[in-house]
Amino acid sequence: MATSSPIETAKRNRGVVFHVSLLYNLVLRHEQRRPWWSHIEQRLILGALPLQNKNHLDLGEGVKAIVTMNQPVELLPNLLSTPVAPAEWENAQIAQCFGSTGDFTPPTLDTIERLVDVQQNTTYVHCKAGRGRSTVVVVAFLVQYRDMKLEEAFEFVKSKRPHVSLHPKQRRILHKFSEKYSSAAGASPTSTST
CA 141 – CA 119 distance, rounded (Å): 8
Task: Choose, from 127, 138, 142, 153, the residue flagged as catalytic.
Answer: 127
**125 beta partners:** 46, 67
Interatomic CA distance for residues 38 and 82, integer angstroms? 21
Give yes or no: 127 in active site. Answer: yes
Nearest to 25 by CA among 176, 190, 157, 161: 161
Question: Which phi and psi (to 5°) does residue 53 adopt?
Answer: -75, 0
Strand order in 123-126's β-sheet? 37-41, 44-47, 123-126, 65-68, 95-98
Tell me which H or E stretch contains 124: strand 123-126
| Catalytic residue set | 127
